[in-house]
Amino acid sequence: MLNNTLYTLGRIILLLFGAVMLKLTIQRHGKLPAGPKIFVCNHPSATDPFMIHIIARERLNVLITAKAFCVPVFGWFLRTIREIPVPLEQGSLALEHACQYLREGKSVAIFIEGKISPPDGSFLPPRTGAARLALLSGAPVIPVGIFLRRELSICIKSKISGSLAQAHWYLRGPYAMTVGQPMQFDGDVEDRQNVRHVSEQIMHQIRLLAQESEHRILRPNLAAASL
């Protein structure tokens, strides 16, 4: 099928791009469980929704802002490989699509901050989409911490659906991802306090993993000594 061919080709290109342009490193805390999983990550650049595909060997569908699907050719590519559009103010619809993929045995990825992180290297407060998806599906959460050199990001402006948009892309420089241990959650998805608590637990792990990624880039000797 066309979508499988495009997905495989795209993943090969990303692997080459990661090795040549990003000096990509991936560190895992353990073996990933079998079956569908929810990869939950921080979001330091617009490059992340692409690079996250190489975190697992299995097929991975990513929740991406619906604006990206409006870009000519690029939007067609995203729809063809069955990425999941997240319409503005309609996140519940995207979660329904993601749950369906999980029921089909497919893994998905979601960025817990919702938007690109602040340029100063801090994190945005976690949104509840990842927690709701974990509670709705029962699938394990795989936290992922990403770190890159923010000063090397490039701001690219473009027109999408008639309006000007800009995004910070990371096209060259060290890029590190750390994959944490699976996290399992249960409880009532309508219990807002529980949903918020789950969101904070996931975000806490992502922060720690992002710090590990940062150490591998900024303090490589210290990171190696701690292994």
For residue range 155-166, what is the model confidence (pLDDT) as tens digits?
987 766 666 778
Q: Please provide the average confidence, as pLDDT, over all residues in the chain.
A: 91
**Dihedrals φ, ψ of 180, to 5°?**
-90, 180
User: Looking at 40-54, 55-69, 111-125, 148-162, which range is the least confident one?
Assistant: 148-162
Residue in this structure with the two tokens 């990403």, named with its chain if needed: 146
Instruction: Tell me the average pLDDT across 57-79.
Output: 89
Give pLDDT tens digits for 101-137. Answer: 999 999 999 999 999 999 898 999 999 999 999 999 9
pLDDT of 226 over the 60 cut = no
Give pLDDT tens digits for 71-102. Answer: 888 889 999 999 999 987 767 889 999 999 99
- Between 157 and 21, name the one with better pLDDT: 21
Pairing status of strand 163-169 against strand 107-111: unpaired
Q: Are 178 and 210 in contact (CB under 8 A)?
A: yes
**Residue 117 belongs to what domain range?**
2-226
The secondary element (H helix, E strand) that includes residue 133 is helix 129-137
Instruction: Tell me the average pLDDT across 21-32.
Output: 94
Instruction: Tell me the average pLDDT across 197-224.
Output: 88
The Cα 32–Cα 183 span in angstroms is: 11
What's the confidence (pLDDT) of residue 162? 61
Confidence bin at 177 (pLDDT 50/70/90): very high
pLDDT of 167 over the 90 cut = no
CATH number, residue 141: 3.40.1130.10
Confidence bin at 222 (pLDDT 50/70/90): low
What's the confidence (pLDDT) of residue 204? 98
Domain count, the chain: 1
SS3 60: strand
